[in-house]
Amino acid sequence: MTTPIPATRFADPAPAEHLERAADALAAHGFTVEILDDVAAARARVEDLIPEGASVFTGASETLRLSGIEADINTSGRYDAVRPRVLAMDRGTEQDEIRRLTSTPDVIMGSVHAVTETGSLVVASGSGSQLPGYAGGAARAIWIVGAQKVVPDLPTALRRVEEHCLPLESARTQAVHGWPSAVNRLLVLNAEARPGRGTVLLLREAIGF
C-alpha cells in the first residue's frame, strides 16, 4: 500500500526514480517525454522544438512565467504569439475569434498540476481557456513540469490540486485580480492518441505550483 503524501510535501521535488517511473509510464501512453536538469535546459529545448513562425498559445502558467519561457514565446518575435493578440481583442465583439485562436494553435504551451507515476497528466482550470488546446485542439502540446508535481496516482494528483495548487493560485488571483480562484474545470489526460503530439519536459528541479 502506498503511504499517502502529506500536503506539506507537495512542494518537494520527487526523487529521480519517481521521475523515471512517471516518464516511462507517460511514454507507454503515447507521450513524448524528456527529463531535463533545469529551467535553462527547458528553455533551450523549447526553442529547438517550436519552428520559427508557428502560432503558439501560452496557457496561464506560473511555470512558464517564472522560467522565462512565457516571455521567450510572446516577446521574442520568433513566433506568431497568440496570447498578446488575444489580450488586445475585444471580449464583447471578438469572443468567437478569441476562442478559435486559443483552441487551435499550431502549438500550445503550459504546465500541469500533477503527473502520476501511472502515466496521467492532470490540469485544473478556472476559465478552461487552455483546455481545448491541451485536449487535442492544438496540433502540438508542450508541457513544462517541475519535479514536485510527480505523484504516485490519480487520487493523490487530485489531492495535490485541491490541497496545494488551489490555495496558492487563489492567493495569486486575489492579489492580481481581487478574487479567489476555483477548480471549475478539470482535465485528465490518460494517453495521447496521436503519438508525438504531446511532449512533456520533466525537470529535475521544482518550479511553479
pLDDT one-digit tens code per residue, 6-56: 666 899 999 999 999 999 999 999 999 999 999 999 999 999 999 999 999
Contacting residues for 79 by C-beta, under 8 A, at least 6 apart: 50, 52, 53, 54, 55, 56, 73
Q: Percent of the chain scored above 70 by pLDDT?
A: 96
H/E run at residue 23: helix 16-28
Average pLDDT over residues 139-150: 98
Lowest-pLDDT range of 18-27, 167-176, 198-207: 167-176
pTM of this structure: 0.94
Distance between CA atoms of residues 94 and 137, nearest Å:
19
CA–CA separation, 208 and 1 (whole Å): 29
Contact 150, 16 (CB under 8 A): no
Q: Grade residue 195 by pLDDT with cuts at 50, 70 and 90.
A: confident
The pLDDT, as a whole number, for residue 126 is: 93
Give the integer Cα–Cα distance in Å for 67 and 81. Answer: 17
Quick one: average pLDDT of 109-117?
A: 98
| pLDDT tens track for 100-112 | 999 999 999 999 9
Q: Domain-by-domain residue ranges, the chain?
A: 12-203
* CATH 3.40.50.10420 is the classification of domain 12-203: yes
3-state SS assignment for residue 173: helix
Cell numbers representing residue 135 in the block: 485536449
**Cα first-last separation, the chain:** 27
Grid coordinates representing 92 are: 464583447
**Whole-number Å distance between alpha carbons of 130 and 107:** 11
For residue 3, name the pLDDT band (cuts at 50, 70, 90): low
Average pLDDT over the chain, rounded to an integer: 95
- Residue 157 pLDDT exceeds 60: yes
Q: Which of these, 106, 100, 101, lies nearest to 78 by C-alpha position? A: 106
